[in-house]
Structure 1
Amino acid sequence: MKIIDLTHTISEDMPVYPGTEPPKLQTANTYEKDGFKETLLTMFSHTGTHMDPPAHIYAGRTTLDEFPITQFVGKGLVIDCTDLNEGQLITMDYINHVRDKADVAEFIIFYMGWDKHWGTDAYFGDYPYIDEEVTKYIIESNKKGVGLDVIGIDPISDGNLSIHHKLFAENEIVVIENLANLGQVGNEIFTFCALPLKYLSSDGSPIRAIAILEN
């Protein structure tokens, strides 16, 4: 068995969505004064590698703490889209190329190689994004989730979050953003685990995402 960490480290100088304050990691207790170390974490619920539920967009829809734990573990498939240039669309050609695997996968994860820009201004550029047909496929095939190694499933220029709205309107699905190290996973079905914090009425949460590959 091989386990790959797909999660960016949370730090005070990490990239955050434009307009969002970066996290704060404040030392609350020290070895010298208190005999132990404790850190006060202050961050938005969509910080770093994180997960969005339907309640992120729609009032009254499912929050992360309302999902069964089975929502966060399942068969994943990484789809390589690294040949795309800035602002280009991920079309059904990428799905159809691996359709037999895509149909059985519970999580579709798009690999743009964008994590190489993590920590730079380029990370907020015109990354590739999914088109309407791919969005429709994800909805109609009842996937547990869709993931990407960019800051959002919508293009950075779309303040209306159109793709979020379509995915979350009626489906019980999660969106995972800011994944890392997808190039290490390969193109076979693997076990994907993405566990959010369980806090009340959670509209989103940082996660620890991993890929479990069988030998």
Structure 2
Amino acid sequence: MKIVDLTHFISEDMPVYPGTEGPKFTPANSYEVDGFKETLMTMYTHTGTHMDPPAHLFAGRTTLDQFPVSQFAGVACVIDCSDLQEGQQITMDYVNRQREAAEKAEFLLFSTGWEEYWGTERYFGDYPCIDQEVADFLIQEGKKGIGLDTIGLDPIADTNLTLHKKLFRDSEIVIIENLENLKELRGQSFTFCGLPLKHKDADGSPIRAIALLEV
């Protein structure tokens, strides 16, 4: 079995969504004073490679801890849309190129190539986003999740989070943002696993996302 890590490192200088404070790592105990090392880690629930549930936007909807653990693993396929330019949309044409795999998959992961800009200002630019028809497909097919190698599902300028709201209003789906290494998996199907932290009333959580491939 081959395992591909799909998760960005968490660090104090990592990219975070505009207006959000970055993570902090504060020494709490040291070898010299306490005989062991421990660090106080402070960060938002939507830091780095992370997962959003419906409760992220809608009160009373499903939080991550209310999902069964099976929600976070399943068959995934990576849709290659790396030829898209800034501001262009991911349409059903891209899904239809891998239609059979997309219908079988529980997670659709979209490789835009934007992971190459992680750590630069361009990462916060006009990255490609799915269109309304793709969102409808995800809802109608009852997918467990959608994942992207960008900082958001919605365009950076859409403060209304229109696509988030559409998916969360009409389905029990999770949204995974800031994936990496999808470029290694374009056109492939595999077992995806992205486990959030298990904490109460989770409106989101960093995850360790991996792809498991049979070799």
Q: C-alpha root-mean-square deviation of aligned residues, in Å?
A: 0.6
CA distance in 2: counterparts of 1:159 and 1:52, whole angstroms: 16
Q: Are 2:78 and 1:78 aligned?
A: yes
**Paired residue for 1:52?**
52
**Paired residue for 1:99?**
99
**Paired residue for 1:159?**
159
**Paired residue for 1:14?**
14
Q: Are 2:160 and 1:194 aligned?
A: no
Q: Are 2:97 and 1:64 aligned?
A: no
Aligned partner of residue 170 in structure 2, secondary structure:
coil
Map 1:168-179; keep pairs closer than 5 Å. 168-179=168-179
- Give, in angstroms, the shift of residue 89 of structure 1: 0.5
Aligned partner of residue 169 in structure 1, secondary structure:
helix
**Paired residue for 1:132?**
132
- Give, in angstroms, the shift of residue 105 of structure 1: 0.2
Work out whether residues 111 and 186 of structure 2, in 8 Å CA contact, stay in contact via their aligned partners in 1.
Answer: no
Structure 1 gaps, min length 5: none
The TM-score with structure 1 as length reference comes to 0.99
Deviations along 1:73-95, whole A, 9 cap, x unmatched?
A: 00000001110000100000001
- Give, in angstroms, the shift of residue 106 of structure 1: 0.1
Work out whether residues 7 and 179 of structure 2, in 8 Å CA contact, stay in contact via their aligned partners in 1.
Answer: yes
CA distance in 2: counterparts of 1:82 and 1:170, whole angstroms: 28
CA distance in 2: counterparts of 1:140 and 1:179, whole angstroms: 24
Deviations along 1:147-173, whole A, 9 cap, x unmatched?
A: 000000000010000000000003111
- Give, in angstroms, the shift of residue 107 of structure 1: 0.1
Q: Are 2:12 and 1:29 aligned?
A: no
**Paired residue for 1:113?**
113
CA distance in 2: counterparts of 1:197 and 1:138, whole angstroms: 25
1:85–1:186 CA distance, 2 compared to 1 (3 A): closer
CA distance in 2: counterparts of 1:181 and 1:33, whole angstroms: 40
Deviations along 1:82-115, whole A, 9 cap, x unmatched?
A: 1000010000000111100100000000001111
**Paired residue for 1:2?**
2
Ranges of 4+ aligned residues in structure 1 off by more than 3 Å: none
Amino acid at match of 1:159: T
- Give, in angstroms, the shift of residue 186 of structure 1: 3.7
**Identity percentage over the alignment?**
65
Amino acid at match of 1:100: E
CA distance in 2: counterparts of 1:130 and 1:138, whole angstroms: 11
CA distance in 2: counterparts of 1:126 and 1:43, whole angstroms: 26
CA distance in 1: counterparts of 2:194 and 2:43, whole angstroms: 19
Deviations along 1:122-147, whole A, 9 cap, x unmatched?
A: 00000000001001001100000000
Equivalenced residues, count: 215
**Paired residue for 1:146?**
146
CA distance in 2: counterparts of 1:27 and 1:205, whole angstroms: 23
- Give, in angstroms, the shift of residue 183 of structure 1: 1.1
Structure 2 gaps, min length 5: none
- Give, in angstroms, the shift of residue 121 of structure 1: 0.4
**Paired residue for 1:41?**
41
The TM-score with structure 2 as length reference comes to 0.99
